[in-house]
Structure 1
């Protein structure tokens, strides 16, 4: 039986954790404001500014400018360059290095897009509550542009810096083939950040991005510009696509799929002889342990309110959730008819990578 002192300690620890979480949530809202209104961009590389000057440069109201700047300084994101004691003359600046975290779109240190993803989840919460009651799901489109854009923005730096230089070279046979040509299908491409990175890394290859969300495909086409890459809102199981791709990729999408085995079966059918599938998905613990570390908490934090909920919209959903463990991927691959599922020696803070061979 738990002693009274032990119960009190647990009570106080949980209360402190929840209080800290609320502080973090409120600070996340201010990061969202900074990104949505371009406030961080205005501070990046600029001299120290008063609230009035900042308001004039960014087109926001001076009183809100002052409160946001003071909040950001209190949170440790910005510095007070000159503390005059007068709110009207106090100046603020962005410390060296912080821009990489909040507003440099290709920085590997970029974290701020997570705020947009949180806001996307927040706007869908009434539907999430109903899904909890009924066992149904939440259509992806209810999460809105914030989650689509946030996912694209948070993953883009890894695609830009690591996909062509580290991830695909971990499959040396395919890296060599694609360097001279070949075909790549990027399944669940979202807004196309991964597909664009593939096309830039392998300019001699033909690259196709596939997704079932029309809004994502529309944004992907805009993002690609004049780059020679094709995006289609099309099912990968379309028999016209079968047997023609050297590499099929699924980046952070398998756990979101209502029917992952069918998706991998379609991916296998897309492969040309000696082709392979590359899956990059969440780097979670090998087994459930409670309490979990920060990464486990991070991934479970998204699961029931977004990834699981979006997948549960379809009948007979696998309901994988964000926390997709290695054994789950292996099981799905085996059920889809793959002969081998190999965890690749690729270092990444958030993802684990698998090579699937027929």
Structure 2
């Protein structure tokens, strides 16, 4: 028999640890918004007075923030100096500030901070069975989602994933080819494909106005807007833009109210010997109930974001972030795809699927 007191105490300690993590996210977000980490990176070891001057904040607040950061081992404090100097380790700076690094987490912090804006709407959705509009999470949510995936899309996708997927890579390399990127978000996946395969013409589809405008801006900045076009349309309408040889969908199928309808539209829009790459969360094959940090992270996003937004349009499949491979297989079968493969490509967060007509 479990000791109730010990079980209670362990849980209380776990809740306390979570509260420390919550304060970490808040303080990191504050440091990013105020430019405190950037100032520490540019200035090296700094006193609270020097940081306040560099970042344009009050010294008393800078000192309190620095001491909290030091206690949480985010910055390092040199107590031998008088006054105390604080340093942001290089590796920590990369995680927080380097948008090109695969270790970048700064954007994810911003996306997490978009959740409180929608909390009342999520609470209401729980009571009614309805959903929450994507717009409720604001521009910061869109920016955070796009920037957090950007390094993977610009580096891992063209350099590791696509070359390892013969039916996709061969098509993209063979000559003029049309690609449809479903749920393209802020456009980084579409841009990465066009950069890696100069003969590819990529059409990205997303219903969100802010995402599409950002995607167009990113394509202009990358100098490839002549080969990458973005459409603010529901992906279920893409058939009139076809045919396409290759289709992709990155971390979006689980967000869709009608995933089978979208996949059916893709099936109709691609040629008979075409192929579709789907990248989504690397969930367990089945719910086990066992502690699992990665699965818990996925469930967190599902409870507060992906499931509510997916339930906004009714009727809805109500998939949520934790989409099991068997669920996606069922969607693909119902959409008319005859071949469904889980690709043997390892990644900490994502699983890759190949669908063929």
1:125 pairs with one of 119, 125, 128: 119
- Contact kept in structure 2, 1:181 and 1:202, CA below 8 Å: no
- Contact kept in structure 2, 1:166 and 1:346, CA below 8 Å: no
**C-alpha displacement of 1:45:** 4.9
Structure 1 residue 240 corresponds to structure 2 residue 240? yes
- Contact kept in structure 2, 1:46 and 1:93, CA below 8 Å: no
Moved more, 209-218 or 145-154: 145-154
Name the CA distance, whole Å, in 1 between partners of 2:116 and 2:340. 36
Structure 1 residues 169-223: Cα deviation after superposition (integer angstroms, max 9, x where no partner): 2222321321333111111111112122122112221111110001110111112
- The residue number in structure 1 matching 2:20 is 23
Structure 1 residues 134-181: Cα deviation after superposition (integer angstroms, max 9, x where no partner): 111010100111211111111111111111112112222321321333
Structure 1 residues 218-246: Cα deviation after superposition (integer angstroms, max 9, x where no partner): 1111122232321110233333213x212
Structure 1 residue 210 corresponds to structure 2 residue 209? no
The structure-2 alpha-carbon separation of the partners of 1:176 and 1:57, relative to structure 1 and needing over 3 Å to count, comes to same
Name the CA distance, whole Å, in 2 between partners of 1:255 and 1:74. 39
**C-alpha displacement of 1:39:** 2.3
**Aligned positions, number:** 351
Name the CA distance, whole Å, in 2 between partners of 1:163 and 1:273. 24
**C-alpha displacement of 1:270:** 2.0
Structure 1 residue 148 corresponds to structure 2 residue 138? no
Written as runs of structure 1 = structure 2, the 5 A alignment for 1:117-266 is 117-179=111-173, 180-224=175-219, 225=221, 226-228=223-225, 229-238=228-237, 239-242=239-242, 244-266=243-265
Moved more, 123-132 or 196-205: 196-205
Normalising by structure 2, what TM-score? Answer: 0.94
Name the CA distance, whole Å, in 1 between partners of 2:132 and 2:80. 48
**C-alpha displacement of 1:77:** 1.1
Structure 2 alignment gaps of length 5 or more: none
Q: The residue matched to 2:329 in structure 1 has which SS?
A: helix
Q: The residue matched to 2:43 in structure 1 has which SS?
A: coil
Structure 1 residue 72 corresponds to structure 2 residue 69? yes
Name the CA distance, whole Å, in 1 between partners of 2:320 and 2:84. 47
Name the CA distance, whole Å, in 2 between partners of 1:60 and 1:208. 45
- The residue number in structure 1 matching 2:301 is 302
Structure 1 alignment gaps of length 5 or more: none
- Contact kept in structure 1, 2:167 and 2:275, CA below 8 Å: no
- The two structures, once aligned, show a CA RMSD in angstroms of 1.5
Structure 1 residues 22-73: Cα deviation after superposition (integer angstroms, max 9, x where no partner): 1101110111112222322222253211112112212222222222222211
